[in-house]
Structure 1
């Protein structure tokens, strides 16, 4: 009896655990008009996978409203993505705007998502600014800065715009958001324009693009004379943290069942996003949650378009897919011999004709698909850019997609070298044995297309030993592919900030790397056929090859200008900590903006500190500010990297530190050019070699003096009587 009770108790425990996994516990499934599916939940702890997904039903406003307890944001909807349509799991939330009036500025510190399973959706949200002479910006946790300015030529020249047949009287501007946006400090401030008083109100906000551009909501914003505190819909993408759900699906990172798939979220390797496969729909986060779609009923017989005079086409639903079968009308009776001969001849003709038709149709489809991808991936734009610029296209190869799939083992995850906002980089080997880095871009929209084509055109113009070389590209695939030379030793940031302790950088290597980067930037500014501004110089964009030589990389935001141009007026783009303050204020990027970013890298090489660090005081979080204060307060030698302090001569440190300080001047006109920077660093290298040679000479002279002294004390009985015979024993003769 006792054994039976124990077995029964274990069965009950098992059933309870199954209920927890399948989400069949007695939990509330709705709050007001919003459905709350698992892994989200209301009520007891078993109703949601962990605290990030707990939803509270708030009745304080009368009607019930769901709130994410962890983020204190109202939930508008929760949806699941689809593998077939490439949509992602999303949750819509009500999000606050930031506003200010008159000459006031305002900043709000939004929710932080860095440790959560949520990120702001780059594809579904936009960043908006409203109001005359409004400079609005966002600084993300990763350091990216982006924003836009309304009425860049003043409100007198700021015309009304039309969206969905609705005239918008209030000045607007918009821009896309960064792919790694997990914390947004949103800021709005007035732009002082001569002869125009700062009046009216301004606002800035993230918003769901489809919602904002809907006819009703456009009218809502169209004639706002003042801006007050407001909330707008924003879309968050979500997955499940591995610490919470990993054990439930048994290694969810590589788990592929017959009806759903789970993969790591982009830029969030510890968070997994699950979606039902093609032919299924439902909730992939509960066992049996992905159910077969009956396409024959749901899509009103999708096979009807194949009906012909030969017969009707019938739709047959199967688990995960459907088939279209032709139902032929009955034939009149004929002789068996006639049927046999006719059938054989007909079958032969059908097979031959079918095979030939298949080959022709397949070839045409492939050509059409390649042309479609070529156009969608900017092939026409690239062709136009190449024909209108002095580009050496002979050195840039157009690769076949099959060759690159073979080179990367079909883009195996074990070949991944790194991931970024613009795509994933894989290590590969070409058929000729060359090791390369293949960059597989993300599915890019029209806003990102220009950056991709720009990088191809810029790199095609550059031929410098300290700039990463573009070997070729492939535009006939679903997403663009770029092929670079393989740089094996990672980024400069890994070594300077102590992430690679097994190979610390010596002072000689740091000085050489700084000189090489300065020389590359001097070439871009002055040596290329058209001057090129890099616009994103930082230690993570400086790669080190097998001999630890510097290679400047990532030209996605670079711009080529005419020789007579002095600056570019663009939306602010860059990395916080390296961004030129003058460019941030004026939106005008000059060659001195690259100089400022290089000055931060030089400070990193001297101190070993990061460009932005939360371990320093609030006013010294920026390395540029921290470094300049240390120099001005004669505290330089207390902030230097210990290896630099140990190996470097004091006069060399002072020269390089003063050069870095000049590069970091707030006034860009006072900064040196990259030509001057490169020459001064080369001079320090020459001085260093001169000191080394002089030291070796002194040591040699000292050794020779000792030999003379020892020669003088040798007893005369041991010496040869002939001075001529003794002469060859002396290594050198001195006057």
Structure 2
């Protein structure tokens, strides 16, 4: 051929780019395929490419030494978010009347999109070409016409005679290219029977009437530019979760969703790796792009991210060409000394004033922290925590600076959740331990009282199913509480929220209900001072990685003096869980927690929310809906389908009966939490005994299990058991760890 056109130019471009920037991949990953560098986030094996985008996995054909993404050959990868591929030409050939050969390509790019640096080109006489692209669910078409009165003579021009081209917009992920002819001049078409249509990177194709009109089929592929980016978040949305490494900056993609990374000025390397970009030594590098421009007698001094040109003593730097020129002795040397002395004196005064201001500011900050500490009840809290009793001696008092460092300045990406009593952040302490930090709402003085109340309540509790309070910070305008970090979300999340797809079996739900009931029984009966939680709900029950329940959020709780059975308080709680008797009278007692627990137990059984306004009228309030189903013997209609099976119907009916008893309208008709815990614990014990009995068929196995004694029923004696089998289970609730 007279010339090789695009392929030759692409080979030169790819080789030059490879020599300019050294390929950098993950350790022990393939770095080259032929002349193409393979750089992270791309790679040839699963651990070598960015895990969020599977099409970043490339394939190297060891036989041909060619690199592919899918069935597209890759010739270059750019850090700036560009991928260059080779794309075949679409063409149609005719004889005098019919099509003899025709090939068109319908291409889907998956994670890549077409760049606007490409040109859609058609070659042939009396032909037209059309490219249909798709962006999202919308389709667009573009094309051009090439007309000839005779065979074109001018080289390099693609202006509509023998060759036409048009620009391409970016963003499309699918495109179809087709070409056809006009029956305008048969003599011209007969001499040039084939018509071509193709995408090509701008500047990579020069039209020549001969041999292009006749032999373009010999050049089967042209370079095409694709755009790529990381994920579908902006840099702001990604925050510190972006993969951009050290000495690099995150830039929002200008052509598609997602972001790209770029080395800072004066640095080079792969900005997508954790170690990021390294300083360029402009003084020693052989690269003409980065080499210094110091000239003459000036010496290059490398600095981090840049360089300086230095001159020897007696010379000044000429900033025009970075050369050195000899200093001229000032005409008034004495005035220079006076000016320097005055300047130094002025700077010394400024420094002294600045130091004094810093000390005053530090003193004001110290006094302000002391003020906040006392305002937030710090003195009373220290006195209570240091007093006699069974207080939690591990409660620490953290500093304001420590809390800022732990939450990275209360960064938005660290927020775990927000509720009526404040915002919860994920914190990392200096010893690398992960904690949850709860911050009251700014300007709400009632929340401050609730936070101090939560510290005082939790200081009386030492139980394995209560989220552990590690400490607090009172030096800020609003107090902060520091808890152990529970990493598997809330019971609400597992039943109704973002984690509801994770299946909770009946065994899980029964064990969780036993743990919650045992915890509330401990708070009511076994704590040093009886405690009423006052806001029991699925959103206040955390689950750890083993799905162990942890009761949380004691901001609304109350300590009950030993000489009182109930308190008169302002009504507080959550609709759907709120005890109707407490709501009507304002009298708070332990039966209020029993009612709320009954609602939680119904949620565990049905998988439905306590109060859902989207439901039909008869099922908006779970308690009424559940009680009606029990009364009308249609419990199976409300139990979640994945919970009930043939082997557990008796346990579920018994648990449902307990839930209905807990939610009776009158508090005196409800059982105590200690009795509820015993009955639920007995369900688990009975299930274990039944399984062992089926396995061994030995009655002796069932006599004594985990310290539970089965006694004959003796009327209504306050210890509740199974009504259906006329037995009662007596258990001793653990009083903490």
State the structure with bigger RCO (CA 8 A, min sep 6), 1 or 2: 1
Q: Higher Cα Rg: structure 1 or 2?
A: 2
Alignment TM-score, normalising by the size of structure 2: 0.47
